[in-house]
Amino acid sequence: MTTAARRSDPPELLAAARAGDRAAVARLLSLLERGGEPARVVGRLTHSLGGAATTVGLTGAPGAGKSTLTSAVIAEVRRHDQPVAVLAVDPSSPFTGGAILGDRVRMGDHVLDPGVFIRSMATRGHLGGLSLATPEAVRLLDAVGIPWVLIETVGVGQVEVEIAGEADTTVVVVNPGWGDAVQANKAGLMEIADLFVINKADRDGAEQTRRDLEQMLELSAPTGWRPPILMTVGTTGEGVGDLWGAVRAHRDWLGESGELERRRAARITAELHRILAARLLEQARRLGRGEGFERLRDDVVARRLDPWAAVDALLGSSPA
């Protein structure tokens, strides 16, 4: 660890991170996770520096083998001699630990490779949590020159699907078994999938699952891109080269079709809406207590003021 990494000054940390200091990257990510003004400073420094990185979301039900597959994908990216980062996101867990910690251990193959950066993202209980911190983390990793950012989400809840679905390319991982395809559809995964991966494809039922998925894709509205279905065995790396080829093909299509621009604008729109909601919620909490609030409430209780006029007075007294 260098001197810069021990400091907490964001510009210095960022300079060190851009020079290859991984501890500085980790420090900056911690600032982003914690939120508040230090996170804002990091955001202001990084937003203009990137634009070259591609984000790949990996999502699917727990137990689908996403971490093993992610580890195999890392190996494949490294074979192409490119740096890669993984953000492992678990909105259901307020702190790093449990499944995520286990995942980090399983990805331990790459721990000594300076071209690989793996990080579990945890909410620190602040407003908006991971949905707000994840795009900022991506901009940081982009700003320090990492061309591929994999975003692995642990579950298939609304937030997980939202986070994975906001990547440039979203990979939905299922397993052989008749129920998977149906489950994928239910969870809204069909709508966000750019690629399907049937992982653990050496098990019984892989072909049937492929047919189920094909059938569901037939029913969905045609767009310029038809999600390919890949077969992998994460533990052996089988099929992972093809998977990565499909990710790169999708990335090329995004650029050529103009879809990349459209997606990034939609993503920024969603991010701005989330920040706006968080800011106004914060404002509501701040305005809804304290002496100024209590004075106005007493006026309403005493019928000197009607409730809407009281709220007008609250909002007027404090610019947004």
Give me the least distance between CB of 307 and a second copy, in Å please: 5
Our CB check for a second copy shows the closer of 111 and 281 to be 281
Our CB check for a second copy shows the closer of 112 and 303 to be 303
CA dist., res. 153 & res. 169, Å (int): 14
Give me the least distance between CB of 139 and a second copy, in Å please: 9
CA dist., res. 62 & res. 66, Å (int): 8
Give me the least distance between CB of 289 and a second copy, in Å please: 9
Give me the least distance between CB of 168 and a second copy, in Å please: 14
Our CB check for a second copy shows the closer of 112 and 301 to be 301
How many alpha carbons fall within 13 Å on the CB side of residue 237?
A: 9
Q: Give me the residues that bind a second copy (CB under 8 A), please.
A: 40, 43-44, 47-48, 50-51, 135, 261, 264-265, 268-269, 271-273, 275-277, 279-281, 283-284, 287-288, 293, 296-298, 300-301, 303-311, 314-316, 318-320
Q: What are 102's two structure tokens?
A: 């286990």
Coil, helix or strand for 185? helix
User: Which secondary structure element, helix H or strand E, spans residue 288, and what is its range?
Assistant: none
Give Rg (Cα) of the chain.
Answer: 22
Give me the least distance between CB of 294 and a second copy, in Å please: 9
Our CB check for a second copy shows the closer of 217 and 287 to be 287
Our CB check for a second copy shows the closer of 249 and 300 to be 300
Q: 3-state secondary structure string, 107-174?
A: HHHHCCCCCEEEEEECCCCCCCHHHHHHHHHHHHHHHCCCCEEEEEECCCCHHHHHHHHCCCEEEEEE
